[in-house]
Chain A
Amino acid sequence: MSNYVLFLIIIIYLAALFFIAYLAEKNSKSKWVNNSVVYTLSLAVYCTAWTYYGSIGIAANSGINFLPIYLGPVIAAPLWIILLKKIIRISKQHKISSIADFISLRYGNHRFLGALVTIVCLMAIVPYISLQLKAVSETFQILSDETSYVSTSVLDDSTFYIALLLAVFATFFGTQTTDASEKHKGIIMSVAFESILKLAFFLFVGIYVTYVLFDGTEDIYTKMSQAENFNSLTTISGFEEGFNWLYTIMLSFMAIFLLPRQFQVSVVENVREKHLKNAIWMFPLYLLLFNIFVIFIAWAGNLTIGNAGQAEYYALLLPLQNGNTFLSVLVFLGGLSAVISMVVVATLALSNMVSNNLVIPYGFLDYFIKSHPERNAKYIKSIRRISIFSIIIIAYVFYVNFSFELSLYSIGLMAFVIIAQLAPSFFIGLFWNRGSSNATIIGIIAGITVVFYTLILPFSLHAINGSDDLVQYGLAGISFLRPHALFGIDFLSPPAHAFFWSILVNLLCYMIFSVLQKGNYRERNYAEMFVDSKNYSDLQDGALVWKGEAYVADIKKVLVKFLGENRTERALNLFFRKYDLPLDTQMADARLINFSEKLLTGSIGSASAKILIASVVKEDEVSLVEVLKILEESKETIARNKLLREKSNELTKLTNQLKYANEELIEKDRQKDEFLDTVAHELKTPITGIRAATELLMDDDDDMPKEIKAQFLKNMLQDSDRLSRLIHNILDFEKLSKGRSTLNIKKYNIKNTIKKTIDSLKHIADKKQIEIINSNNSDLSAEYDEDRIVQVLTNLISNAIKFCDVKKGKIVVDYRFDLGYLEVTIKDNGKGVPRLDLPYVFDKFYQSKNQNIQKPEGSGLGLAICKQIIEKHNGKIWVRNNEKSGATFGFKLPFK
């Protein structure tokens, strides 16, 4: 493929990335941009060209040793829920924009510490970036026709232009605001997109190699197992190798937190904490997918190409040598994706550090104070832009001059070992409040010195003049000082060895000096905030202890320089309102100092923020004891307030409950009154009849006609019956509704129960020539109280008789099994229930006045009692009108 075509493809691809980033910036609130999948995919910036090409190189030459680099993050992922959550919370609260800011803030906005961390990161990452560029250039050469082509000058090296384009991309989407702690959604979206591409294309080539070039995984395995060095490639050989694995896993475990680009995507760019929940399983899954085919591609390369020097590019060479140019272009683009995402995010993160922790605090503060806000914003952005370009250009220069000899894997590991020097201050600082800034600085410098001697120096000597004397004989010929075998530890690989010694020295320095020498009060203040972040997030701006004299106007002047007039005004108003302070407050308190420092941190870094604010206030020295006392007190106040609030909430809740209970009681009382009223009324009716008839019989005994006398006597009897029935029903109903009557539940056959009921009602029905049909003859057993169900059936059937016409009446009783229930229905062809009555027929004392006989016989409680009985069986009772005529009553009893 010609150089130009390939370059055109790259340009088109970069244009697509620009477009995606642009779209994401434009729709920055959309759920397509803000979700846990994008977050997880952005974390996959971890997989660089090292993963894409380097792993295969390792797998081909030394077996499964590529794996520990991915095991560390996999082990770390479940811990994110605790660890990363805490880091994210602290960072958001303090507007932290980089790991240098994070560490320097933890140790009291220490300016030198921030700068030191930045330098450590630069040392680790710039060569790493240059290796990424090397991968682009080498793959470009493999793919282009001119295999013998070697760039003779910068200007005709395509890698140079690609590097410049990446710098433009990072500048364009990375420096839109002066506040570095703001999100860069465009960059994150393009990284997520690239993560999909690099995984997809890598899987493509894996599948292609395994199933097209070979006959599946087994085929590769069988062929490979005939190779001489097969055993050494597939096993961990012994104790020493185990240690190598252990240290490499630890190394990558730390790297996933500490690498500037990982801190950028996982902490600074985190939109919502809850995205972590999905990331902890999706990210390991991503790594797993990425590693599935590594070993097969490596073996396939060993079998067909067999050139150990080119092992890193097997994924590209295999399809190319088999004539599949298209697939090789895809592989190339996948690798390019891995490079671009790494380079862009890493330079962005580094440039924020360089500007906020190195350049601004050490030279621009005086200038900023004198200048105008617009010009300051421009300056800050320019510093970042220049940083981005410088970093990429330095990386390019490094690549051109030094990196011919180095493998992706070795430089990658070296970066990890250097970055790991931040681990003690970072991890232990999160949980141990004694860790002090001086101890951190000593630890890091000592660690770096060890790394330099054991790893960087031998490496550089070898690269520059090919000399391995130092490695073989040690410094000044002392064999105990051999860089790769310090004090006789000669069984570890160089990176693992360097890691072991450097971390040991670093850790010891950090711990010992922290214990020996206490940090100042400010350090201790921040230490408390970080270690006990949960409690201090309640304190908010009150978490910083500060004593002294400061004027709001002075602080405002500083803020205006960076935020502009409007934003400053708005921020201060917000602050005063939040703490219920008058808007014209003159004297600033600790909260305002803390608040203002935070406002500035995003733009110029925490160290500069502290210096600037300190320059306009008169701070009194506070003793460490005092700091701790004040913190303890404010923590207690918060806790007390919280307790009070909880108690008051509880009281409100109780009051509401009481009110509700009271309302319920009033309603119950009203219902009781109504019930008594109705009962009294119902009782009075027959008594009235009896009383009046008795009076007439007594007084008019002589001239009352005989048949009238008989009628009155009959009426009296009827009323007496009605009275006693009423009393019986009332008592029954009360007993049921108060739950005083218990059911006598046994297993019965419903067929028999229905027969029993119909038999007892037969004579009444016959009298009116109404037909009662039991249409079902099957045996169906259920558990119920037979007497009570007979009572219900009697009630429903005699109701039906009451509403049916004489002679024409027909009542059908049926039952069936229905989804765990026994359903019984009584269907009549009478008048049916008036539509308006339907919802109320089961209410007590609701009597329909449409009965076909002159005198209502019911007590008004019959159906209400039926309902009580059925509900006591956990069943349901219902009524509906038939389509033609009459009504159907039914009830369901659960099978037990």
Chain B
Amino acid sequence: MRKIVIVDDEPNIVMTLEYTFKKHNFEVYIARDGSEALEILQSVIPDVIMLDVMMPKVDGYQTLKLIKENKQLKDTKVVFLTAKNKASDIEKGLKLGADKYLTKPFSVKKIVSEINELLA
């Protein structure tokens, strides 16, 4: 089973994503911010990590940097899913090494197909 870590501080949004990916046969891990995510990543090596940018404590950018430092996660894909949709924001995310940059609000179907495409 493919593993996904969803990192977001908005419970309502997380709930929809969790439901969706479980339905598409993902093993879903939830983190409310970067530090929780990093904790999970100590024991889990997921196929994909879905990151929000604006989160308390450790934000998305910082989390990505820390993920990139971890050799064990070199095959893990990282996707930003955020409400920040300015061109400069997108450029910054991709430059930091994200594999995809998706924006909120999103279509659930689109998210699934993007992730599938990424993991194919």
Contacts and interface: CB of A to CB of B under 8 A. Distances in A.
Contacts of B13: 685, 688-689, 692
A708 B16 CA distance: 10
B56 A849 contact: yes
Interface string B11-48: 11101110110010000000001000000000000000
Contact of B105 (A687, A711, A854, A855): A687
A691 B15 contact: no
A691 B106 CA distance: 7
A625 interface: no
Contacts of B33: 849
B57 A685 contact: no
B56 A685 contact: no
SS class, residues of chain B in contact with chain A: loop
Nearest to B107: A695
B108 A692 contact: yes
Contacts of A700: 23
B84 interface: yes
A700 B12 CA distance: 17
A688 B83 contact: yes
Nearest to A681: B83
A718 B57 CA distance: 25
Contacts of B86: 677
Contact of A688 (B55, B106, B109): B106
Given A684-B83, A692-B16, A711-B15, A849 B106 contact: no
B104 A688 contact: yes
Given A685-B13, A849-B57, A855-B12, A696 B104 contact: no
Q: How large is the interface on B (under 10, 10 to 19, 20 to 34, 35 or more residues)?
A: 20 to 34
A718 B12 contact: yes
A681 to B, nearest CB: 5
B54 interface: yes
A700 B22 CA distance: 13
Interface in B88-120: 104-109
Interface residues of A, number: 26
Contacts of A855: 10-12
Contacts of A692: 13, 16-17, 20, 105-106, 108
A708 B19 CA distance: 9
B11 A854 contact: yes
B19 A696 contact: yes
A684 B105 contact: yes
Contacts of B84: 681
A719 interface: yes
A634 B99 CA distance: 79
Given A681-B84, A849-B56, A849-B57, A689 B9 contact: no
Contact of B104 (A684, A719, A850): A684
Max chain A CB contacts within 10 Å: which of B15, B16, B104, B107? B16
A23 interface: no
B22 to A, nearest CB: 10
B83 A689 contact: no
Contacts of A715: 12, 15
Nearest to B23: A700
Nearest to A853: B11
A716 to B, nearest CB: 8
B108 A712 contact: no
A81 interface: no
Contacts of B19: 696, 708
Contacts of B107: 691, 695
A850 B9 CA distance: 12
A680 interface: yes
A691 B104 CA distance: 10
A689 B106 contact: no
Nearest to A682: B83
A706 to B, nearest CB: 13
Contact of B83 (A685, A695, A696, A699): A685
A684 B82 CA distance: 10
Nearest to B86: A677
Interface string A565-609: 000000000000000000000000000000000000000000000
A693 interface: yes
A689 B108 contact: no
A182 B82 CA distance: 82
Nearest to A695: B108
B102 to A, nearest CB: 11
18 contacts: A684-B105, A686-B12, A687-B105, A688-B13, A688-B83, A689-B10, A691-B106, A692-B106, A693-B12, A693-B15, A695-B107, A695-B109, A699-B108, A700-B23, A715-B15, A849-B56, A855-B11, A855-B12
Given A693-B15, A695-B107, 5 more contacts: A677-B86, A688-B106, A692-B17, A700-B23, A850-B56
